[in-house]
Structure 1
Amino acid sequence: MTNLFSIFDPATSLMNLNINWMMSIIIMMMLPSMFWMLNNRYLMMWKLPINSLNNEFNLLLNKKTNKGSTLIFISMFSLIMLNNLLGLFPHLFTCTSHMSTTLSLALPLWLSFMIFGWTKNTQNMFIHLVPNGTPSILMPFMVCIETISNIIRPLTLAVRLAANMIAGHLILTLLGNTTMEVSQNILLIMLIIQMMLLILETAVAVIQGYVFAVLSILYASEVN
Structure 2
Amino acid sequence: MAFIIIFLWLGCIVLFMSTHLSFSNPLIYLLTLIQMHLYTGLFITAHDAMHGTVAPHNQKLNSLIGQVSTALYALFPFGNLNTKHHKHHQFVHTKEDPDYHQGNFFIWYFSFIKQYITWWQIVAMAIIYNVLKIWIIEQNLLMFWVIPSLLSTLQLFYFGTYLPHKGEHQNKHQSKSQSKNHIWAFFSCYFFGYHYEHHDSPVTPWWKLWQQKEKNLEI
* TM-score, with structure 1 as normaliser: 0.34
Work out which structure has the larger RCO, using CA pairs closer than 8 Å and 6 or more positions apart in sequence. Answer: 1
Q: Which has the higher helix share?
A: 1
